[in-house]
Amino acid sequence: MITSDRMAAVDANAAALGVPRKQLMESSGNAVAHAVRERTAPDDRVAIVAGRGNNGGDAFVAARFLEDRDVTTLLLGRASTISTEIARENWTALSAAEHDVQEVRDSTALSGRGTDPGPATVLAEADLVVDAMLGTGVTGALREPAATAAEAINAADAPVVAVDVPSGIDADSGDAPGAAVEADHVVTFHDEKPGLGDLDASIEVADIGIPGAAELFVERGDLQLLDRASDSHKGDHGHVLVIGGGPYTGAPALTGQAALRAGADLVTVACPESVADEVQSYSESLITEPLPGDRVRPGHVDALLDLEADRTATVIGPGLGRDADTLDAAREFLASATGTVVVDADPLRVVPDVDPAERDATLLCTPHRGELAAMGGPENDEWRERADAVEDFAERLDATLLVKAPYDVISDGDETRVNRTGNPGMTAGGTGDVLAGICGALSSTQSPVQAGAIAAFVNGRAGDSVVDERGYGLLAADLLPEIPLAMWGDRDD
């Protein structure tokens, strides 16, 4: 099963890996044509009802493969408004070869009430109808002319083959908030969609050539999950709590600033009062919550839990140190926290001490390979072996692991991703603190695996930008201004 958002990301990842969307569309169209051919005979009349996006583009390709059928392609709208370049190219190819194509500019033509009954007649006389109006990325009730087209398709006395998902059906939920096409057969691509399970239709999953690497490796397509709603308000993208500092002041400050750069609306740094002013001095955007003394201790845990309860995500660890009292406090905090907690640096060693069966918190742990070994985890040099071993260890811990290495491995024991951005210059101290902050921000809006995977990609991409521009010798602070560019800059470079 794959959701529509994840499918869009995988599709874009395939393109980033060198498999162009146009090639995938050719494979998709061929799969649709094969399904039509299995259900019709030569010279049968096939009506294709196509939208102006890539779903319609798949159908334009299919029409080219169906020259031995009597195919008419009905485009809902003007060809000049086809929304993607590859769909437009396939429409042009279809038209240039003088296939039977018609632009449906008025929904009344589909119901036969207009002056030109052509489209209505095409549907009424069809031996099979192909629904290619809208794909998996569209939600909500159908608008005109698609709503009228759906009713006309349903009224036609012909079987219906839907491309990817029947138009009007939510691919993730199966809901139909308005008119929807009643398909007899669905040709969906790459993997089944959750919303197809309850349909009264046969489902065919077509392999269109998306490589497994597009799902395994984190790529630019994953950044699509970071798009924001136009009506967003303060707080919608997270208030992150950072628990750190004492022996060190720079680490929690880097983490807090990274969380802000990664899109968190607010960041509070809870740190010993001995370093609170120094942490605050790194940025006027950081909120500090001073804790009595010069170390985080068990006596602070109740106050920290109160802070954690009001935040969308917590990062614990940057700059805390290994003082026995501090580790006791971290252990107690992890055992009692209830939200999403990113665990970094020295507190990682106490994670195995907290029984997963008695823990309410959702953990995203960010060890490097040495810290993973100190947690009792696997030691593997080859990344493929490490990925399998990390997956097993994550399942045992009931936590998500982001294991930092030249190939980062991110796994929750069920889903596993691998990130390949980054470079040897990022061995500089503090880059892990930056990563933890990005994880904290993304954990406010994403699942732990997605948060860890995207954070690793963004952190490494930011480091790559610094090294490309300046060479080695980077400072962790150099990554901070690069984070927004790595997340929301040019995703197609």
Residue 377: pLDDT band by 50, 70, 90 thresholds? Answer: very high
First vs last Cα of the chain: how many Å apart? 30
Residue 315: pLDDT band by 50, 70, 90 thresholds? Answer: very high
Mean pLDDT on 75-88: 95
202-206 and 185-189 as β-strands: parallel, antiparallel, unpaired? parallel
Does residue 115 carry a pLDDT above 50?
A: no
Does residue 352 carry a pLDDT above 90?
A: yes
Average pLDDT over the chain reads 94
Q: What is the pLDDT of residue 111?
A: 74
Tens digit of each residue's pLDDT (9 = 90 or more) over 3-36: 999 999 999 999 999 999 999 999 999 999 999 9
> Which range is least confidently modeled, 105-119, 277-291, 342-356?
105-119
Residue 114: pLDDT band by 50, 70, 90 thresholds? Answer: very low
Q: Quick count: other Cβ atoms within 10 Å of Cβ 201?
A: 18
Does residue 487 carry a pLDDT above 70?
A: yes
pTM: 0.91
Does residue 154 carry a pLDDT above 90?
A: yes
Q: What is the pLDDT of residue 427?
A: 92
